[in-house]
Chains A and B, each alone.
Chain A
Amino acid sequence: MAGLELKALHKSYGEVEVIKGVDLSVTHGEFVVFVGPSGCGKSTLLRMIAGLEDITGGELWIADKLCNAVEPRDRGIAMVFQNYALYPHMTVYDNVGFGLKLAKTPRDVRDQKIREAAKILQMEHLLERKPSQLSGGQRQRVAIGRAIVRQPEVFLFDEPLSNLDAALRVDMRMELAKLHQDLGATMVYVTHDQVEAMTLADKIVVLNGGVVQQVGAPIELYQRPANLFVAGFIGSPKMNFIGVTVESVVADTITVAGKDLATMAIPADGTGIKPGDTVTLGIRPHDLLNRAGTIVGEVMLVERLGNETNISLKLPSGTSWLVVLDGDHDLKPGGSVDLTFDPARAIIFGSDGVARHPR
């Protein structure tokens, strides 16, 4: 049974197309995270699923029901807003029960559901308070409570943690993960924070400019990003890139060299790539090793954290890289450092930006 299915979904505001044909299939109980930079269309896409934005083209199926023209309340969804949207003049109890009240649910059933949700979220002691008397985390809980009582097919979260401070965000993230396990419901979650995406998701949808860049499990996106955008977006700190020239292509190995890089054979799919082409090599900061080898750079800045050392590096071509070395390294700005990496850890991107992972 499909929890949620998007088929060639389009959204335009007049001439401006913001969602350019999104296809996505979410199975029941999956936790899906839409991630991307500001303005990539992730919130718009979520609001289209919620029914708060009209669908310009394509089909939206929720629990095997075509929902393009269905009113939000009949779509079997519940949404948690970025600013929680708790009614300030109502108590927590009334806020959580508002939807049930509108649906004319009998008072005793309503009461039971509200208390059930409050129990799940451990906020029974807050029921008589007004939102203004709650902390950010508590408000968040109430907003989730309001979604839970609707018993939706699909939960929709629009950047729910962005208004919380860093420590609370980590706590709430874990609670959300636990909630997902307990309820077993389909959840769609929008965030621009890739750490949230990596930790919460069963499946991440990376969006940019209204187009899906890649869909996959978090670790798959980290290890096998489909293109330069995903490679740069997923993973913290960001992946390092340099332009290199192809020297030879042999079966599943591309040998490259450049101003910043001594000749190196990288395992990659060489289809369509020929010697002389300029390609991009990507390597994650954590994958660089402090050994004499292929790269020499000038140390610009050093952050010694004890367990690891962050180095801001300037390569001969002027490209800036970030290097994270295990353990403590007493390096001084202005000095130079020799680095190398395991060729299997590097990724070659063609001139079209598409990754050439070895087959």
Chain B
Amino acid sequence: MAVMTETGTASAVPLPAMKRRSPYPGWFFLPAAIIYGVLFLLPTVASLYFSLTRWNLFSSTFIGFDNFAQFLREPFLIKGLVNTVIYAVVTSGLKVVLGLLLAVLLTSQIAARGYLRSVVFFPVLVSTVGVGITFTVLMHPTQGMINEGLALLGIKGPGWLVDPNLALFSVALVDVWKGVGLATVIYIAGIVAIPKDYYEAARIDGATSFQNFLYITLPLCRPATVTVIILSFIGGLRTFDLIWAMTRGGPGFASDTVASVIYKQYQAGFYGLSTAGNVVLFILIAVLVVPLTMLLNRREGHE
């Protein structure tokens, strides 16, 4: 009898309390939820809405997918999309290759290693606009130091930023110069984490330095490679500041990217249109980066 009452009360009292979870922990979640909601969720939803309107900051009229239709009909926008992808592929590709080579160099036994590491990383810390302006001066077709230097060697330097076929790649090169330090640092961390045993075992097997690199360093710093590719690819897709500081998308629309096109639309007062552009950029990044990430993160890809 006593046992029955005891079990009876025991199951009667705590069970409902367990089912209905206490609201108490929720209060801790609230501040972060408000900040996140106001600063991130709300703008995202709002931008989705405004991209479907004709909007001038004071009033908006719902116009369905007209903005997207118009945005995608603009020939310079298509050019901008293509440029963005080219830019992202070129910069992330070069950052992977150069970052890895620099990291291999900077993890080997060389003089002034620590100093050189900071030299490589330094451009990362400099303001992008500052770098852009500096390189614009350096890349001036006639008075820039680069072409003057080339002239001393008897080479007629190209119009780095004024040649429509070259402008985008010139900016991409500067982006690589500025960003390769970060890739290098990530690679250095990846390479340093590889156990020395592997190299010693390979040494006994008679591996050359190049074989060490090919069979040990390269496959074993794969996580670093994935990080560098993803980071620099996303960075490349949403690039704006360097483009704007160096070419403003020019000459013509030759070096426009999605972000610079959007900026120009904002400047012109087409807020709904440019918001639609932002949504397009968001979708572009998602469509390219999500499968890329999945591909790269496949568990231990085949060697």
Contact = CB atoms under 8 A, between A and B. Distances in A.
Interface of A: 50-52, 71-74, 77-79, 81-85, 87-90, 94, 98-99, 102-103, 130, 132, 146, 150
Nearest to A71: B206
B201 A89 contact: no
A98 B205 CA distance: 8
B4 to A, nearest CB: 49
B220 A88 contact: yes
B212 to A, nearest CB: 10
Given A81-B200, A146-B201, 13 more contacts: A50-B200, A51-B203, A52-B204, A72-B203, A73-B205, A73-B206, A83-B197, A85-B197, A87-B198, A87-B219, A88-B220, A88-B300, A89-B219
A52 B204 CA distance: 8
Interface string B243-265: 00000000000000000000000
B204 A102 contact: no
Nearest to B218: A89
20 contacts: A51-B203, A52-B203, A71-B206, A72-B203, A73-B203, A78-B204, A81-B200, A82-B197, A83-B195, A83-B197, A85-B195, A85-B198, A87-B198, A90-B303, A99-B204, A99-B206, A102-B205, A102-B211, A146-B201, A150-B205
A81 B300 CA distance: 24
B49 interface: no
Interface of B: 195, 197-198, 200-207, 211, 215-216, 219-220, 222, 300, 303
Contacts of B203: 51-52, 72-73
B225 to A, nearest CB: 13
Contacts of A87: 198, 215-216, 219-220
B300 A99 contact: no
Contact of B201 (A71, A74, A79, A103): A79
Contacts of A98: 202, 205, 215
A94 B219 CA distance: 14
Nearest to A87: B198
B215 A130 contact: no
Contact of A52 (B200, B206, B219): B200
A128 to B, nearest CB: 12
B204 A51 contact: yes
A79 B198 CA distance: 12
